[in-house]
Structure 1
Amino acid sequence: MTAPNSTGAGAGAGRILVVGSVNVDLALSVARHPEPGETLLGSGSRRSPGGKGANQACAASRLGGDVRFAARTGTGPDADLALSLLQDAGTDLSTTTEVPDVETGLAVVTVDEAGENSIVILAGANGTWSPEHVDALHVEVATSEIVVSQGEIPAPAIDQLARLSAETGTRFLLNLAPVIDVAEHTLTTADPLVVNESEGRLVLEAMTGATAAIDDTMTVHALRSAGIPSVVMTRGAHGVIVSHENATAEITSPTVTAVDSTGAGDAFVGALAVELAQGHGLDEACRHAARVGAFAVTRPGAQPSYPDRQDDLPALDHA
């Protein structure tokens, strides 16, 4: 397990640093997803804040977390829209930077009548992250309880963030979505690594070369055997598998009527970060995060769907 924060008594207690992407989401509503080469008529569109990093920071902030968000945006109205709900949630944006002459990231999200989505992302300013930009966050990393990142910024920046986290003894939560070619040290620093089923298999193939189809629990165990301290696999309505040094457990998800699954995984990660930063164990944190993720799918959009502390969360089916 990652060592506790070693920057001094009480340093970073409960504080979360999210380093990652920020986008504007253009969501298109369709009856079903088109086949290759097919043109479909949509039934509506909306623009809202998004990006996995921003979503996770917003979810954590709305749940009462002490959150700093380090991101890179373009300038102009898209940047204002992309950061608007983070500002409303009280997220500390002092480490978010405007990059001149670059567009803010854009995600085009297609949502069908069953609430399933497909997403195409243009990185924009998110693609300008470098190891040097991460080095500038050394103090913020050292004074945080937990650092969170995702696969929507360049791998060299994530690798440097993992190194800084290890050097400062700060817990590193990596949601490798999408799966990109990060260093093995980055994966073995992640505590936990959060992936869904397909991401877990891709990470395992990258680490070990294993390509055989295996079930989800076997995938999680193989990732742990490859040197990852703890693994959380999210499986939508099928629940969560969590594995760490003490045990492996399966956690059910609440039964809800899905409206839009966009950003639900990010709601889970944001809630997980808050629980871990406040000292809860990984199993307990995942149980709470599963309820937050289930709440998010009952509302449209990503950040607009996230609960506040006073919202009633759905109950686990077999808690």
Structure 2
Amino acid sequence: MSKVCIIGSINMDMIVSVDEMPQVGETIISENFKLAHGGKGANQAVAAKRMGNEVHMISKIGKDAYGYEILESLKNENIDVSKVFQDKCKPTGTAIITVNKDGNNSIVVIPGANMAIDKYEIESCKDIIINSDIVVAQFETTLDATIEAFKIAKENDVITILNPAPANKIPDELLKYTDIIIPNETEAATLTGIEVTNLEEAEKAAKSFLSKGVKYSIITLGEKGAALVSNEKSVIVPAYKVKAVDEKPMATRQSSGNVINKLSKIIPNLIGGSADLAPSNKTHMNCRGDFSAEDRSGSNMHFGVREHAMAAIVNGMSAHGGLITYCATFFVFSDYMKGAMRLSSLMNLPVSYVLTHDSIGVGEDGPTHQPIEQLAALRSMPNMTVFRPADSKETVAAWYYAVTNGQTPTSLVLTRQNLPVYDGCPKRALKGGYIIKDSKKETPDVILIASGSEVELIYKAADELLEKGIEARVVSMPSFELFDAQDKEYKETVLPNKVRARIAVEALSSFGWHKYVGLDGEVISLDTFGASGNSEKLFKKFGFTSKNIVEKAMEIVNN
């Protein structure tokens, strides 16, 4: 593990998708817009951290909602942001990114506070720079700050890496402090006047850097790889092929099934099954055989329709040790095994309970199969950690917690219906509750809180409220237990005491939500039995619509 110091930008990216790029003077319509955390510096910091390094970020943000939101996401990545300064006058940097259907893009960067960091602030970070193994910088912050940082690093034998983007003339003073320069082919052409498409041209372009003190030039060439050039050697390094992550809407039970099958390939002692519902619960491990009297080597257990016995069996296997166990059924049938689940909690057994078909979203099966009070009951059980994830990423986080915490049982409460995937890192869900979309105002007018499938509703409601001039914060709360375990400072950043206008939305019992909304807030919930019918119609019938949320929010804010 290396100690990496990133001196770079923090931006809020505003991404617009279009079929074709607009021509000069042309106005076009786009129906796809989203916000994403960005900035070359922030992206580099996250990448370095996810590769297992210790990462310190030196940057500057405005005193605004965008800055606070991105700062929180960097903290959630376990990146040290103690030297991310705040500017009282300039806003957090933004980038407007237009992407066409072929994936080509154009980017306009508004640096904001990024260009307010100065060499004196860099000098105050001297200890961090000196104690790093690598310092990385680019040109979305001030040139003076980069030169000062590289000078300090070079004087203390710290490796310096420069990503010269956006491409501008590089002073010789900076190049003499640079060990490695990494432009892409477009930036290399801008900086050297040489079009780089092969190794020979890369060598020519690199000479202008190497002659001024740079040790290595790495010119990235997209799918062709990268050209590495030094005074000793030149070589083309092939591009690393990656499989794109499919972020299409997906039921969290299906996401869970995907995770189980990934885990089955890396955890040889994973064993579990379902109460005769494996195809519906999505709990079958495809690369493992079935456990039976004839074949004891299988890992898929067929428990039959006997939930209590199933939970008792996995408890016994977990108590014996050496195995990571899970079992599954429809959520409403968790009542049949509540006694065994209670013993899991009492004995600190890290059993995973996969509980699918989590609400009136199960549809036509009707009230007999629609959970209402079950979620509140599990949340009230001591030592039981409950996750009700809002998307595939939160489902991954839930499983990560379930197989690594080793101290408590975990209940994964999952949907039958498809859910969208939200921007952000799944690690945030391990806080139990976090800001999934924030207001532009530092103090929001209203806070909307939900878990599971209802996060989609409050997300949409926030957009509709914005059209009416009301700024809403959207909070996903997949786990009461993990959120309650956070320190007061973190909980205050998510649910500040001064914001009393709050609405919690969950298509199950309201029991437990009032501690988050307070006396001035409201809970949109289901405290009656459900009904038989199409899930979409049922959500509308019981008030689980963005329209109803908007009306309730406006009523609370106006009062």
What's the TM-score, normalizing by structure 1? 0.71
Question: 1:237 aligns to what?
Answer: 223
In structure 2, do the counterparts of structure 1 residues 303 and 172 end up closer, same or farther at CA, with 3 Å as the change threshold? farther
Give the partner amino acid of 1:136.
S
Structure-1 residue corresponding to 2:176: 188
- The answer on whether the counterparts of 1:159 and 1:182 sit within 8 Å (CA) in structure 2 is no
Whichever residue aligns with residue 65 of structure 1, its letter is N
Structure 2 vs 1, CA of residues 21 and 87 (structure 1 numbering), >3 Å: closer, same or farther?
same
Using a 3 Å threshold, how does the CA distance of structure 1 residues 50 and 303 change in structure 2: closer, same or farther? farther
Residue deviations 1:120-172 (CA, integer Å, cap 9, x gap): 01010001022222222211111000000011012122122221121111100
Q: Which amino acid aligns with 2:40?
A: K
Letter in 1 for 2:203: H
| Cα offsets for 1:166-193 (capped at 9, x unmatched) | 1111100000011123321312332210
AA of the residue aligned to 2:237: I
1:250 aligned residue: 236
Number of aligned residue pairs: 249
Alignment partner of 1:145 is 2:133: yes
User: Against the structure 1 CA distance between its residues 178 and 128, is the aligned structure 2 distance closer, same or farther, given a 3 Å change threshold?
Assistant: same
Give the structure 1 partner of residue 204 of structure 2: 222
Q: Distance in 2 between matches of 1:188 and 1:219?
A: 23
Map 1:148-159 onto structure 2 (within 5 A). 148-159=136-147
Query: Which moved further from structure 2: 238-247 or 44-53?
Result: 238-247
CA positional deviation for 1:24: 0.5
1:223 offset after TM fit, Å?
4.3
- Over the aligned positions, Cα root-mean-square deviation in angstroms equals 2.6
Does the 8 A contact of 2:8 with 2:40 survive in 1?
A: yes
User: Does structure 2 retain, via aligned residues, the 8 Å contact 1:193–1:231?
Assistant: yes
Deviates more, 1:163-172 or 1:80-89: 80-89
CA offset at residue 214 of structure 1?
A: 5.9
Q: 1:19: which partner in 2?
A: 7
Q: How big is the shift at 1:301?
A: 10
Between the aligned partners of 2:17 and 2:25, the Cα distance in structure 1 is 18
In structure 2, stretches of 5+ residues that fail to align are 246-420, 427-559
- Counterpart of 2:159 (choices 154, 168, 171) is 171
Q: Is the CA contact (8 Å cut-off) linking 1:233 and 1:241 kept in structure 2?
A: yes
Aligned to 2:388: none
Instruction: Determine the structure 1 residue equivalent to 2:73.
Output: 85
Of structures 1 and 2, the one with the larger relative CO (CA 8 A, separation 6+) is 1
Structure 1 residue aligned with 2:429:
none
Offset of 1:258 from its aligned partner? Answer: 7.1
Separation in 2 of the partners of 1:253 and 1:67? 25
- Specify the structure having the higher radius of gyration (Cα): 2
The superposition leaves residues 266-295 of structure 1 with CA deviations (integer Å, 9 ceiling, x where unpaired) of: xxxxxxxxxxxxxxxxxxxxxxxxxxxxxx
Partner of 1:120 in structure 2?
Answer: 108
**Does the C-alpha gap of structure 1 residues 304 and 194 become closer, same or farther in structure 2, counting only changes over 3 Å?**
farther
Which residue identity does 2:45 align to in structure 1?
A: A
Contact 1:48–1:82, Cα closer than 8 Å, also in 2? no
Residue 35 (structure 1) aligned to one of 9, 23, 33: 23
In 1, are the aligned partners of 2:225 and 2:236 still within 8 Å (CA)?
yes
Give, in angstroms, the shift of residue 254 of structure 1: 4.0
The answer on whether the counterparts of 1:73 and 1:99 sit within 8 Å (CA) in structure 2 is yes
What CA distance in whole angstroms lies between the structure 2 residues aligned with 1:181 and 1:213?
A: 17
Answer yes or no: is 1:73 the counterpart of 2:61: yes
**One-letter code aligned to 1:242:** L
Matches within 5 A, 1:196-211: 196-204=184-192, 211=193
Structure-2 residue corresponding to 1:315: none
Counterpart residue identity of residue 199, structure 2: T
Per the TM alignment, residue 256 of structure 1 is displaced from its structure 2 partner at its CA by: 5.7
Of 61, 77, 85, 1:97 maps to: 85
Counterpart of 1:253 in 2: which secondary structure? coil
CA distance in 2, matches of 1:143, 1:123: 28
Give the deviation of 1:215 after TM superposition.
4.5
For residues 129 and 231 of structure 2, what CA distance do their matches in structure 1 show?
25
Contact (CA 8 Å) 1:115, 1:258: kept in 2 or not? no
CA contact (8 A) 2:196 2:202 kept: no
Cα distance 1:258–1:30, how it changes in 2: closer, same or farther (>3 A)?
A: farther
Pair 176,214 (structure 1): closer, same or farther in 2 beyond 3 Å: closer
In structure 2, what is the Cα distance between the partners aligned to 1:130 and 1:62? 28
Q: Secondary structure at the match of 2:137?
A: strand
Supply the distance in 2 between the matched residues of 1:301 and 1:212 (Cα, whole angstroms).
Answer: 41
Cα pair 1:26 1:48 within 8 Å, conserved: yes
CA contact (8 A) 1:179 1:202 kept: yes
1:62/1:301 CA distance change after superposition, 3 Å: farther
Please report how far the alpha carbon of residue 51 of structure 1 lies from its aligned counterpart in structure 2 after TM superposition. Answer: 0.5
Counterpart of 1:41, as a letter, is I
Closer/same/farther in 2, CA of residues 22 and 160 from structure 1, 3 Å limit: same
TM-fit CA distance, 1:72 = 0.2
Helix, strand or coil: the match of 1:38? coil
- Percent identity, please: 26
Gaps of 5+ in 1: 1-12, 205-210, 260-299, 306-319
Cα contact 1:230–1:244 (8 A) shared by 2: yes
Letter in 2 for 1:161: A
